[in-house]
Amino acid sequence: MDAAELNLAELNLSGLRERFAVEGVLAFERAASGLVFARVTSAAAEATIYLQGAHLAEWRPAGEEPVLFLSARSGYVPGKAIRGGVPVIFPWFGPRHDGKAGPQHGFARTSVWELAFAAVAGDDVHLTFTLGPSEVSRALGFDHFRVAYRMTIGKRLRLEMMVANDLDAAEGEGAALVFEEALHTYFAVSEVERVDLMGLGGTAYLDKQGGARRKMQAEGAVRLTEETDRVYVETTATCVVEDAAAGRRIVVEKSGSRATVVWNPWAEATAKMADMEPDGWRGMLCVESANVGESAVTLRPGETHTMRAEIWVEAIS
């Protein structure tokens, strides 16, 4: 980060503190790399959110262990996605597949979002981040969109992502906004091979490890035994991560999402990731609320779409 960028970062940090800081609850800091982040320390939960990517990196409800996996090797580098937490995937998932060039998982997770609103209500902290067209997005062909991403940080985590096609309806059908989206949530687990994922039994999925072939999940729990990259289709089901060794279950309830992505890189792929510790795969499981592939969203001018996820922890007695 050069001197001009550093001065701008300091100016932005001062503005955030002046507008939104709440003593003892919501603070704003700058990492050594220059990335600005919000720190939540309420009676209900602790959390860390980076403005780059509106990236929720950490969430720990009071009295609980961390719910989100965060790699110890994440670099927190400007322009590079953080490994862990909840990366926001938009406007495409994985490699861009419309014949055009673009970064993996779109531009939202490496763009700097604007914090538009922050408030404390009871023990919950409410934050709203916004993202609109930029030089980067326009160069990639995305000029008429707005995203508002609302977080409620408390004993429960509520995430709401609203996307709008901000063209006037008079622009006509040819100006549709087509996009994919995902809340690429990394959950912290005791040992992924011993965790049961409930809620997807009897659901069709695309096996991206097997040439994207369509398969059917057997009834009952899903338990991973190898590198897994699956898009479960046409499902609005609540998922439950049963982690008996940790004595807890993580519940993921969603709406406005017609796909659930389940991913773990396993040992061989993890070894190729510079930002992941070699055994990191053992302690993580991605369960992502999404609209991808055949559930991609099309918005005509003036239309909006909202995807929500609510996450909480329950003890296993």
Residue pLDDT, tens place only, 90-128: 999 999 988 889 999 999 999 999 999 999 999 999 999
Domains of the chain: 3-315 (2.70.98.10)
9 has pLDDT over 70? no
19 sits in which H/E element: helix 3-20
2 has pLDDT over 80? no
What is d(CA 21, CA 28) in angstroms, rounded to the nearest whole number? 7
Mean pLDDT of all residues belonging to the chain = 94
Contact 202, 216 (CB under 8 A): yes
Q: Of 160, 242, 253, 288, which is the active-site residue?
A: 288
- The pLDDT, as a whole number, for residue 6 is 47
| Closest to 57 in 3D by CA, of 71, 43, 73 | 71
The pLDDT of 206-224, averaged and rounded, is 94
Cβ-proximal residues to 52 (8 Å cutoff; 6+ apart), any chain: 35, 36, 78, 82, 110, 111, 112, 113
4 has pLDDT over 60? no
Render pLDDT for 139-175 as a digit per residue (tens, 0 to 9). 999 999 999 999 999 999 999 999 999 998 765 556 8
pLDDT class for 7, splitting at 50, 70, 90?
A: very low
Q: Of 160, 180, 184, 242, which is the active-site residue?
A: 184
Give percent of the chain with pLDDT exceeding 70.
Answer: 95
Active-site residue 184, yes or no? Answer: yes
What is d(CA 104, CA 4) in angstroms, rounded to the nearest whole number? 29
Whole-prediction pTM? 0.95
